[in-house]
Amino acid sequence: MLAVEQINYIRHEVNQKGETYASIGRRMGVDPRTINKYANQEEFKKKEKQKRKSPIMDPVKPILDKWIKEDLKKKKKYQRTAKRMFQQLEKFHSFKGSYRTIRDYVSQRKSELKESMSDASLPLESFPGTAQVDFGTAPFKYHSEVIDLPYLVMSFPYSNSFYFQVFPSENTECLLEGLQRIFRYMGGVPRTIRFDNLSPAVKKIGAKGERELTDTFERFVLHYGFTYEFCNPGKGNEKGHVEAMVKYVRNNFLLPENTVLNLDQFNQTLWGLAEEDRERPHYEKEVVQIQLFKEDQESWLMLPEKEFECARYMEVKADKYGMVSIDKKQYSTSPRFAKQKVRVCVTYNNINILTENNDIIVRHSRLYGMKRKSMVWQPYLDLLSKRPRAIKYTSLYDQFPSLWTDYLADCTEEEQKSALRLLGELLKNDDFSLLNEALQLASSHGHPSVDQIKHCFYSLLNQDVVHRAITPKVSIPTVPDVTRGLSHYDSFFQKEGSINE
């Protein structure tokens, strides 16, 4: 086909100047019949490319499209090559065409599908396979007390569906733990997820809107491979679907207050609630939401084989008592790490104190709420049982329950060693309650021995607290009060002759 400028020249020379087709043809080096065609053509419609049927390629195109869509959900190293697809077509579908034809088709379709998926992420609300995330807050009953706890909601605007999980905080570890739980439960990863500018994810917003992500969130995104989007500051309406879903979840599932004894067990019940809710018709599309959710699923990315470690690591220096401060809470390590640096692994529910080789020194349940200090006694008791005199020169003496500090103060050095060994043996979960009862019971007739405390402890543990009174058959002489310490040895150093007197 000639260029527009050439066609205009031909029409001007023939129709305006009266030149012959042959003379213009010689001048332009074009066949006179072509000059005739363009000089007299009345319509200049765009010529549609004819699509010829291909008896060899047409039957396998749907198969190739399916394979390409499946592979685009995977990491590149797990995607099939055009050659591999060609081999599978030959082996399983009796394909008789050439490898070059398959290679060209796969290359073209991959480009088209990638472009289509890229366009589909904007606007987020209109396409399957996308999600929005935000936290809400609801009241819960915990040990007869009403407390507010955050819950993480992931909503799917296309199908009007959701999942949610309750956590003790809105920190980075809780956010990532919640996202990973949802990914793993539903067996896929949304292609695009829109967030508010949550502090667990965004460290800083630049002048031109660039986001500096927190290190852990950035690694989480790389691990799961989804595309993240953030709302403009103060524009919460840009994630309006999840904001509406946060209210829907609270009103329909979390009010009035749920009683929570174990948060992990409670969260297990929430999956079914979300899936039952999907049985209702979509508010706009007049289709049951579960059908639309299946379209969401078809567009998700595949899960990576390994889970992400939703934890952050840090180095902190212990004080002179071996205590470290994490997020303004105090956690014990061990006396041997006093004034030394230790490695800490922080998860949403645990604080693990580690050695340089990542061996666990001690594990704490992570503190939330008003409690400020977590003390694991075993590492300290082991040391103190070997050096009981040192206890009076440390703050640990004051951190024992007062019942035990009074008892230890009245003990000899050997008794202190035995008592501290007993505490190390019997103290479970750093709860002194049963040991306090045992000491009180054993002290009812004076200063008890370690064996007496141990006996009372196991009696209480086995609920054997009934003690029958012993009626003596013979008269027992009155035993004088015991004087603790060294004064009762004075009788051995009386003056000579006093015995005969």
pLDDT digit string, tens, across residues 108-129: 988 888 776 655 444 444 689 9
Which H or E run contains 181? helix 172-186
Nearest 5°: phi and psi at 341?
Answer: -80, 140
Q: Is the pLDDT of residue 275 over 90?
A: yes
Is residue 394 helix, strand or coil? coil
| Residue 248: inside a domain | yes
Residue carrying the six token digits 């691990």: 223
- Predicted pLDDT of residue 482: 54
Q: How many helices (H) and strands (E) does the chain have?
A: 18, 15
Give the Cα separation of 446 and 439 in Å (integer).
11
> Is it the case that residue 466 has pLDDT exceeding 60?
no
Of all residues in the chain, the percent with pLDDT exceeding 70 is 83
| pLDDT for 472 beyond 50 | no
Per-residue model confidence as pLDDT tens digits over 126-141: 689 999 999 999 999 9
The mean predicted confidence, pLDDT, of the chain is 84
Q: Which domain holds residue 467?
A: 393-501
Amino acid letter, residue 475: S
* Residue range 233-254, pLDDT digits in tens: 655 555 789 999 999 999 999 9
Domain boundary among 95, 119, 143: 119
Question: What is the C-alpha end-to-end distance of the chain, expressed in Å?
Answer: 145
Does residue 471 carry a pLDDT above 50?
A: no
| Contact between residue 86 and residue 95 where contact means Cβ atoms under 8 Å apart | yes
Residue finishing a domain among 270, 298, 326: 298
pLDDT over 50 (residue 106): yes
pLDDT tens-place string over residues 380-391? 877 777 776 666
CATH code for position 147: 3.30.420.10
Number of domains, the chain: 5
- Rounded to whole angstroms, the Cα distance separating 265 from 196 reads 28
Asked if 10 and 19 touch (Cβ cutoff 8 Å), the reply is no
Instruction: Classify residue 53: in a domain, yes or no.
Output: no
| pLDDT digit string, tens, across residues 334-361 | 888 889 999 999 999 999 999 888 888 8
Which pLDDT value is given to residue 404? 87
Residue type, 460: L
Same domain, 115 and 188: no
Statement: the pTM of the whole predicted model exceeds 0.75: no
Contacts of 258 (CB under 8 A, 6+ apart): 140, 141, 266
179 and 221 Cβ atoms separated by less than 8 Å: no
3-state DSSP assignment of residue 380: helix
The total of other beta-carbon atoms located within 10 Å of residue 40's CB is 12
Q: Residues for the chain: how many in total?
A: 501
Residues 360-392: b if buried by 16+ CB within 10 A, e if exposed:
ebbebebbbeeeeebebbebbbebbbeebeebe
pLDDT value at 223 more than 60: yes
Same domain, 205 and 318: no
352 lies in some domain? yes
* pLDDT tens readout for residues 318-337: 998 889 999 999 999 988 88
Same domain, 84 and 212: no
What is the C-alpha separation between 266 and 243, in angstroms, rounded? 23
Show the tokens assigned to 374.
Answer: 């977590």
